[in-house]
Amino acid sequence: MQFEGRLSIRLGKCLVAMGMVLGSFVLTGQHDSTLVLEEIEVTAQRINLTEIGKHTDDLDSQALAMRQYNNLATVLAFQTPLYVRSYGSGTLATLGIRGGSASHTQLLWNGIPIRNPMLGLVDLALVPSFFTDDVAIHYGGHGAAFGSGAVGGLISLSNETLSADDNIHLHLAAGSWKTLLGELKANYGWKKFRFSTRVFAQGAENNYRYRIADGFPETNQVHNELMNMGLMQEFLWSMNEREHLTARLWYQETDRQIPPTSTQTTSKSAQQDQSLRMSLQWTRRGDKFNWQVKTAWLDEDIDYQDSLILLYTHNQFRTWLAEAETSVRLAPGLNLAGGVYTEIVEAQSANYEEGTSRHQYAAFASLGYLRGDWVWRFQMREELTDGSWSPLLLDLSAEWSGIRHFTLKTSVSRNYRIPTLNDLYWRPGGNPDLLPEEGWTVEAGIHYTGSGQKTILTSSLTAFTRNIDQWILWMPPIKDIRNYWSPINIAEVNSHGLEARGNVEITAMDDWHFNFNAGLDLTWSKFGGPLPEFMIEEGDQLFYVPVENLLAGIRIDYAQWSGYYYHHWFGSSTGINEDVKAGNIGSAGLNFNFLQHKLKWSLYLQADNVWNVPYRIIERRPMPGRSFMGGVRFSFS
């Protein structure tokens, strides 16, 4: 891989795109400043409904701004108590919420599911935090709202409402391991037509130092270069006060070398990812009826090569989906909603016998009722996938706020997941006889919100239990039977746990603002039967699921200065080859803001793994030591 040459070409592409954005911004900036477009809220109703009765964590724009240069995997790893399964800086990263597999976490982009149907997941290292304005983590089963795959939870990425203000934002940064980053965002347009453009380019060598084990000398990570660039374009047409049309495009290219494990001496493998995501959404809001129709096209290519073993593969999928939904207010506090959904997938791979397709159709409905201190919600969904019906997916949730400052929540849901295309058709190993996973989730929680003259306190405690039958697990080769991995349905997996959250905001002497927050996850996710191939006994913890995850942090704002420190502790876990030790990592940052007329600029310095702790998330995949990132941001209105 000729890193410098490819990076120069891609940076050139981004500079051209940035120039086009600046030109558009200058032209649209000439419109009459007296024309004001009211902010329009186009919210996927079912995403809001998922919060009723369930635990939800939100990362607001301020939290994301502190990590704007990171991918979503790093943001979640350093600012939530979630255990992100990362293979190293810039490499594959997945998430299993509440002890689930990576395929049990659904990822939504403005209400559009963007998972890879071949793998059943999204690589979070390929999701730049710069391309989203709000991240919400919805825990628990959401099959009745979003269908197959939303078993452990879902992550919702949202882009902010396009306002009437014209503005431009530029971010330039540099950091450890020859990391370079440039980001540009512009909001522009006219009264009824608004646009938003985001462009970024990133390059890094990622040759960090690490120790193979305690007592060994440090060594450099090799063959770990990264190049990443992307463009996001948004368009909003305010047709009238009630009717709006939104179009979005997300294009991204990533070129990654895949480093050797700590037991290998060299690696020549690399992967190129190219994705194009487009969506179109029409929304009409009336006095009694609301309507929403959306469609999306997802196009992804993955090229993998390893010259050491002469392996070259090309994987490709195309997804077209469409959804129509309506809601009606039957009476004060009583709302009924329903809709239909269709998804068509076509996938190609040298490891499939031939091109593979999947056709999925669904109908869903929900009933919401608000009376006094009670909120009730009932949802159901039925799916038809390649001629096979899903179980009837149900969700009954309720909240009661009859005690001042407190809200009690509870939810019962039935969920399922169909096998991925690789599970069924990969050669060698795919198993076309696999059955879908299915099971139930029950959770209950208590939430507290209180405030004083200069203090705001919020806290919550949630307990959950979940059972999944026919859990799909890839099994290792069996001597004299097969020399490749292959998936099977194992009997059962049972999970239960506790999730505690706390947040305190204090304002002192007007100039000082303090924010303390903490989160603790305790998760027991157990095999329901023995697996001799892995030397697993009944009741053993699942792979890469530590029981304990704890995050604590503080953020301080004073005048033009702000700073933060977060610390994440995680327990040991069982790996495929060997156990993964417990670890803890700290991150810190300092920021200075300056405002002069219409120009706002800021300088920042951030450090990750402050204490330079050697650790692993996946065995034999060393994580980086202490690193620094510094940059400057400019905003002009």
| Residue-level length of the chain | 637
Of 204, 150, 149, nearest in space to 179 by CA: 204
Tokens 């911004």 -> residue: 25
Q: How far apart are CA 362 and CA 572, in angstroms?
A: 40
Distance CA 618, CA 84 (A): 10
pLDDT > 70? residue 563: yes
Average pLDDT over residues 611-628: 95
In degrees and rounded to multiples of 5, residue 373 shows phi and psi of -90, 0
Q: Tell me, what's the pLDDT at 597?
A: 82
Alpha-helical runs (H) found in 66-161: 72-79, 143-146
Phi, psi values for residue 87, rounded to 5°: -95, 5
CATH superfamily of this structure's domain 3-636: TonB-dependent receptor, beta-barrel domain (2.40.170.20)
Averaged pLDDT for residues 380-401: 97
For 445-499, write each residue's pLDDT tens digit: 999 999 998 999 999 999 999 999 999 999 999 888 899 999 999 989 999 999 9
Please give the sequence-ordered ranges of beta strands (E in DSSP) within 52-208, or none if there are none: 56-59, 84-86, 93-95, 105-109, 112-113, 134-139, 153-158, 167-175, 179-189, 193-204
pLDDT recorded at residue 47: 55
Residues linked to residue 383 through DSSP beta bridges, in sequence order: 362
Whole-number pLDDT of residue 67: 83
CA nearest to 230, candidates 109, 126, 86: 126
> In degrees, to the nearest 5, what angle opens at C-alpha 116 toward C-alphas 110 and 117?
115
Q: What 3 state SS string does 4-26 have?
A: HHHHHHHHHHHHHHHHHHHHHHH
Pairing of strands 84-86, 93-95: antiparallel
Let me know: does 414 contact 395? Beta carbons within 8 Å: yes
pLDDT on residue 35: 31
The number of helix segments (H) and strand segments (E) in the chain equals 6, 32
Average pLDDT (489-510) is 94
Confidence category of residue 381, pLDDT binned at 50, 70, 90: very high
Has residue 158 got a pLDDT over 90? yes
Reported confidence tier of residue 212, pLDDT bands at 50, 70, 90? confident
- Closest-CA residue to 75 (of 587, 574, 419, 536): 587
For residue 617, pLDDT beyond 90: yes
Which tens digits make up the pLDDT trace of 238-259? 999 999 999 999 999 999 999 9
pTM of the model: 0.92
- Give the model confidence (pLDDT) of 35-67 as tens digits: 333 333 333 455 566 689 999 999 867 778 778
Lowest mean pLDDT among 137-151, 221-235, 453-467, 475-489: 475-489
Note the pLDDT of residue 46: 58
Question: What is the maximum alpha-carbon separation in the chain?
Answer: 78
Around Cβ 186, how many Cβ atoms within 10 Å? 24
| Per-residue confidence (pLDDT) for residue 39, from 0 to 100 | 33
Q: Secondary structure of 489-545 in the HEC alphabet?
A: EEEEEEEEEEEEEEEEEEEECCCEEEEEEEEEEEEEEEECCCEHHHCECCCCECECC
Is 94 within 8 Å of 120 (Cβ atoms)?
no
pLDDT in tens, 529-539: 998 888 889 99
Structure tokens at 183: 């980001």
Integer Cα distance of 189 and 166 in angstroms: 7
